[in-house]
Amino acid sequence: MAAVTPEPVTRLIEAFAQLPGIGPKTASRLTFYLLRRPAEQTEALAEALRDLKERIIFCQKCFNITEESPCRICQDEGRERGIVCVVEEPLDVLAIDRTGEYRGLYHVLHGAISPVEGIGPDELRINELMARLKEEPVQEVLLATNPNLEGEATAMYLARLIQPMGIRVTRLARGLPIGGDLEYADAVTLSRALEGRQEM
């Protein structure tokens, strides 16, 4: 005789399973974990999810996530206005800003060109980037897309659009990670490291 799972439990398992990287087993584990937790903890999670959808918007200038538009980064007068770093996702803004090395502005594409997944330039925030470059006094665009096939294709596409505008187009340096061994590096990484070599 098969056990009957209550409908709220089934709904939550199905909801968790919709999230990236979470399969049916993990979704079930999360659901049953929450069942064992105090009501305050599950209510806090529900409130955080509700706040996420009710209060978070996209900045109308850079398309990063924010509670107000323009976002704090775009409003920050201490930032260098002549450079815009183009990234794929809001998480990339966090990663780059956390270094403290970059003090310019950002533009979030919300993805990368991927014909296999049916994502073309029109599905990204490229038109908004081009309009912004025409309106603002930008001297350099730093392309910080991921160093994979989709990120490279997106960077090349953007470079072809931006260079005729007379704006300097740069790309994040690529090469060997700190703590890595040369013998384990692939040929492409080693080639890029050699191309990007610097004076000591």
Whether 95 is covered by a domain: the verdict is: yes
Among 144, 30, 131, which residue's Cα sits nearest to residue 88? 144
Whether 62 is covered by a domain: the verdict is: no
Query: For the domain that residue 140 is a member of, what is the CATH number?
Result: 3.40.1360.10
Whether 159 is covered by a domain: the verdict is: yes
The residue range of the domain holding 118 is 80-171
For residue 51, the model assigns a pLDDT of 95
Whether 23 is covered by a domain: the verdict is: no
Among 128, 129, 109, 131, which residue's Cα sits nearest to residue 120? 109
For residue 3, the model assigns a pLDDT of 67
Average pLDDT over residues 26-38: 96
Whether 25 is covered by a domain: the verdict is: no
Q: What is the pTM of this model?
A: 0.83
Whether 59 is covered by a domain: the verdict is: no
Q: Rounded to an integer, what distance in angstroms lies between the CA atom of residue 57 and that of residue 102?
A: 24
Whether 183 is covered by a domain: the verdict is: no
Among 77, 78, 60, which residue's Cα sits nearest to residue 69? 60
Whether 75 is covered by a domain: the verdict is: no
Q: What's the total number of domains in the chain? A: 1
Residues 166-200: tens digit of each pLDDT: 999 999 887 777 777 767 777 777 777 777 776 65
